[in-house]
Structure 1
């Protein structure tokens, strides 16, 4: 589990990508739980992550990024948490 500071940073990052205030997002938000984090919002998030990391994300990660824990891991470590990357 990521620290509170990492979750706050991930929430701010997601909020910026979705063009909403961080206060509008729950700490346990999942993709699809708000109208802004729809398929288009998810693509905006992916592009923002790629820009921040300076690399293209593997295709399997597109569907694996589901919540703030995943975003926090990517921003901190440049990868998803253990067991979150599909093997296909």
Structure 2
């Protein structure tokens, strides 16, 4: 499931920013120089793609890609497909 979520996250980040070099340890601000607008656009794009909402208060805790992947899995924002 983590790999599927990571792949979708990579696609969303690429669509929003043109950045395609994400690993689980990538930090959005320190490694990718994301600002608050980049983060908001990424959240909106992911919500639109998965037709789910992310509590904006939780975004501040999403520092690394693995934080987002874990949040998505823990909150059932993507359905597992075999």
Indicate the residue corresponding to 2:61 in structure 1.
64
Once the two structures are superposed, residues 14-58 of structure 1 have per-residue CA deviations (whole angstroms, 9 ceiling, x without a partner) of: 2222222x13x44421121223x2211101111112212323322
Aligned residue number for residue 6 of structure 2: 7
CA distance in 1, matches of 2:2, 2:51: 24
Question: Do the aligned partners of 2:28 and 2:64 also contact (CA within 8 Å) in 1?
Answer: yes
Higher relative contact order (CA 8 A, sep 6+): 2
CA shift for structure 1 position 5: 4.8
Corresponding residue for residue 44 of structure 1: 41
Gaps of 5+ in 2: none
* Cα RMSD (Å): 2.8
TM-score by length of 1: 0.59
CA distance in 2, matches of 1:53, 1:5: 13
**How many residues in Structure 1 have an aligned counterpart in Structure 2?**
75
* Residue equivalent to 2:77: 78
Q: Contact 1:31/1:66 (CA < 8 Å) preserved in 2?
A: yes
Task: State the partner residue of 1:19.
Answer: 18
